[in-house]
Amino acid sequence: MRHLNSLMDLMPSDVESIFELVRSLKTRLRAGDRPQILSGYVMTQIFEKPSLRTRLSFDAAMMQLGGASIFLKAEDAGLGGRESVEDVARVIGGYSDVITLRTFSQQLIDDFIKHSGVAVINGLSDERHPCQALTDLFTMQEVLGDVRGRKCVFVGDGNNVANSLAIAAALCGMNFTVCAPESHRLEAGLLKELVDKIPAANVVQTDCFESALKDADIVYTDVWTSMGQEDEAEERQKIFGGYQVNQNLMKLAPKSCYFMHCLPAKRGLEVTDEVIDSKQSIVFQQAENRMHLAKGLMLWVLEKSL
């Protein structure tokens, strides 16, 4: 049994093992083959934050593998103070083979890993978004092939998505640039931890669009106001107003460059229709891959093979 908490816990060989499962499962699904490897298994999803892709991708993945999925809002699970986190984790772990958590607090995920006794997947926290970053990297490999030496440019807020993307890129030898205001870049502590783990990691932070985009293979952005930051929305629009990914910005990148977004997108703010709906956009291939990644990831945490 394994957990997926942070990509910092993984080695490059772990990423490749997960991706081998994902590639095989995606190919087999398209051939009409849905191996029932997890028949009789139960996954419980506990969410504090709303979700479309995370919940549906894990639901569909578990069903296609023959298992069952149970969904609980955090208050339904008793995480609002009705019981201790330790007791809740032990009880839910007794009914489940896998627990996926989508939370504000990273500590909640750490506590479930400590007390539940079953495999735990970080479906999102304020600090990390490993499932999204693994999906993104898998999608990049689909369109670019070997990503070693390629360049991903994240434009906008250096948030949990950017944090996890930086780690994912380093694990696969990809160059990563954050194009953001100085006040909203990746934290120094994360960068030190990353370089300590992977000395060859290449992460650049800048506010110069021309230098960032001139040799980009991927341009990636996310919303300017993440869940839990709604009170800052007006201020954030002022801060990031110049960081919109539009046609003029994409013209600074090579024509072969792809556009990615983890969705949901605020069209007209961080990205325009003409970019997200363009031939360069692979956001819906990226979104579909959340399900294929979830299938491979569940087999990996449960140490199952095809």
Residues belonging to the active site = 102, 129, 132, 222, 262, 290
Classify the C-alpha dihedral 50-243-164-20 as positive or negative. positive
Q: Which residues of 255-286 are buried (b: 16+ CB within 10 A; e: fewer)?
A: eebbbbbbbebeeebbbbeebbeeebbbbeeb
- The two structure tokens encoding residue 21: 């499962």
CA geometry: angle at 10 spanning 8 and 11, to 5°?
115
Helix (H) or strand (E) holding 206: strand 203-206
- The two structure tokens encoding residue 273: 């229709």
How far, CA to CA in Å, does 202 sit from each of 130, 134, 153, 248? 19, 18, 12, 26
**Closest C-alpha to 42, from 72, 14, 17:** 72
Strands 68-73 and 98-102: unpaired
* Amino acid letter, 25: L
DSSP strands (E only) in 17-117 = 42-47, 68-73, 98-102
Task: Check if the beta carbon of residue 253 is closer than 8 Å to that of residue 214.
Answer: yes
CA geometry: angle at 144 spanning 124 and 164, to 5°?
20
Q: Is the peptide bond before 264 cis (omega within 30 degrees of 0)?
A: yes
